[in-house]
Amino acid sequence: MFKGDSGYALRPWVITPYRSSTNEDQKKLKTIHAKTRNCVERLNGVLKSTFRCLSVGLHTTPQTAGKIKNACTTLHNFRQAHDLLMDDVVI
C-alpha cells in the first residue's frame, strides 16, 4: 500500500488523506497518515543520499525499479543492523 498526499487520487493501492476532516475519526486518521508519510519521506531522503542511483531516477520498468529500491532498502537495513558506515561496505 502506498501512502500518497492529497495530490494523488484515491485508488486501491494508494491511501490519501481526507481533504477536509468533518469528524474526530477523520482528523485522527489524517494525523496518523501525515506522521507515517513523514517517516517514509525521511527514509526516501536517506536512501537517495546513500544510493545515488535513486536520486537521479530509475529509467527502467516499474517492476525493476521496485526490485532496485527493495535491494537498496535491504542493504540500508543490513548496514543499520550491523552499525556499518557506507565506507565500511565493499561492493
Average confidence (pLDDT) over 44-72:
91
Of the two residues 64 and 40, the one the predictor is more confident about is 64
- pLDDT on residue 74: 95
13: Cβ–Cβ under 8 A, 6 or more apart, which residues?
Answer: 1, 2
Rg of the chain (C-alpha set): 16
- pLDDT on residue 85: 74
What does DSSP assign to residue 10?
P
Q: For the chain, give the mean pLDDT.
A: 83
Of the two residues 16 and 30, the one the predictor is more confident about is 30
Of the two residues 14 and 65, the one the predictor is more confident about is 65
**1-8 long-range Cβ contacts below 8 angstroms, 24+ apart:** 3/33, 3/36, 3/37, 3/40, 5/37
